[in-house]
Amino acid sequence: MTIQLEQLAKTYADSEVPVLTDVSVEVADNEFFVIVGPSGCGKSTLLRMIAGLTSISAGQLKINGVLANDLPPKARQLAMVFQSYALYPFLTVAANVGFGLKARHFSAPEIQQRVAHALKMVNLTELKDRKPKALSGGQRQRVALARAIASDAKICLMDEPLSNLDAQLRARMRLELKQLQQQLGLTVIYVTHDQVEAMTMADRVMILNEHQVQQIDTPINVYQNPKNEFVAQFFGTPQINLLTATVTGHQLQVTPDFNLAVTRPLPEGTALCVGIRPNQLQFKLTSRNANARIQTVAYLGDKLVATARLSDDQAVRLVSAETTTLAPGDLIAITGAQQVVLFDNATGKLITTEQEVAARATIAVG
């Protein structure tokens, strides 16, 4: 099952500001497609538009090539898992899973068989006679999944299905969801605000912000070649460093004592935004030619995350694999970066990326 969105837009009748504009993408059969963005960016609205729960203001939605703009939800042949799980508290687990199958005119034995199969897939067979109240959060989540499985729909829409679970369970469920999707050959559209979820599960990610698509690509490409500052900041922890710099000669001057030697010729004097991932920033502990001073240090067991101040007071995040060497107040020299991403200072759009950029420190910090 494929899903095509062509310039989809949503504007509510009582407001002039669009909730979504110009969303176009083609989700392939058996793809795990993740829509990610901060709260209020319209990602849930987009999912509801695909489900048929919210009307489409403009553009076309095609499911398996068929125009679906005005089809009622049930005619779209999809399943949906809600953030709140949407379980009926007065029904048993089994009845919750089978809810709606009767409306689709399945016979009683077939309903029973489908429910049993779905419950087995999510390991809930023993709990089938319980009410949702008597289940843990993780189990409720599984019931919601089982309901999607029982519907036998080949498209499954998921609206932040893991956000109510604790961190450990969430990590486990990510893997299970992904396995389930591959096992059942589902086309999944998955909405989340969690970039880690998007990175770990997605075949492709769509990043939404301020009612617009920022980028659609594989997680790796989104991480390595972010189309703009927003995308660069949204992915990766600790966050990417975005530093302002001016082009002087063949160098990007961040501060007088911190220059980056880029190869691409750039117009002299332009102000740019330099993006460097903390783990790609190379530095050494030294008092000679230092260009930054360590401010805070956090140990994360296998690595150390630190912030440092440049001479013009800009903050820089660093990651070091050596966990015992840094302390607040230490002077360091930033020597280079494995990758540098340059953005237009005014528009925030990507200009170019460069690998293995050397940095030069000329004057020591006071």
Partner 1 sequence: MQQSLSGKAKTRPLTPANVTVGRRRWSERGYALLFLGPSLALLAVFIFWPMLKTLYMSFFLTDKFGHITVFNGLGNYRSLLQDASYWASLGATLSYVAVVAVLTIVLGLILAVAAQQQLKGIGFFKTLFSSTMGISVSVAAIFWLFAFNPSVGVFAQLSQALHLPEINWLADPHFALLAIIITTVWMNLGFTFLILFGALQQVPRSLYDAADVAGVAKRTQFLKVTLPMISPTLFFVTTVTLIDAFKSFGLIDLMTAGGPSNATNLLVYRVYQDAFLNGSYAQASTESVVLTLLIAVVTLVQFKLFGKRVTY
**Is position 108 an interface residue for partner 1 (rule: CB under 8 A)?**
no
Is residue 89 a contact point for partner 1 (CB under 8 A)?
A: yes
- How far are the Cα atoms of 15, 194, 250 from residue 19, in angstroms, in the given order? 9, 20, 43
Which of the stretches 82-90, 110-118, 287-295, 344-352 binds partner 1 when contact is defined by CB under 8 A?
82-90
- At which residue do the structure tokens 């499911």 appear? 63
Check if the beta carbon of residue 18 is closer than 8 Å to that of residue 9: yes
284 touching partner 1, by CB under 8 A = no
Check if the beta carbon of residue 254 is closer than 8 Å to that of residue 314.
Answer: yes
155 part of the interface to partner 1, by CB under 8 A:
no
- Return d(Cα 146, Cα 226) in angstroms, integer: 36
Nearer to partner 1, 51 or 285 (CB): 51
Binding characters for partner 1, 25-54, by CB under 8 A (x = yes): -----------------------x--xxx-
Minimum separation from the CB atom of position 75 to partner 1 (A): 8
213 interacts with partner 1 by CB under 8 A: no
Residue 100 interacting with partner 1 (CB under 8 A): yes
- Interface with partner 1 by CB under 8 A: which range of 78-86, 108-116, 261-269, 281-289? 78-86
Please check whether residue 284 is in contact with residue 331, taking contact to mean a CB–CB distance below 8 angstroms.
Answer: no
d(CA 312, CA 243): 11
Answer for the pair 327, 300: CB distance below 8 angstroms, yes or no: no
Rg (CA), the chain: 25
In this structure, the chain runs to a length of 366
Q: Which of 13/220 has CB closer to partner 1?
A: 13
| Residues that bind partner 1 in the complex, under the rule CB under 8 A | 48, 51-53, 72-74, 78-80, 82-84, 86, 88-90, 99-101, 103-104, 131, 133, 147, 151
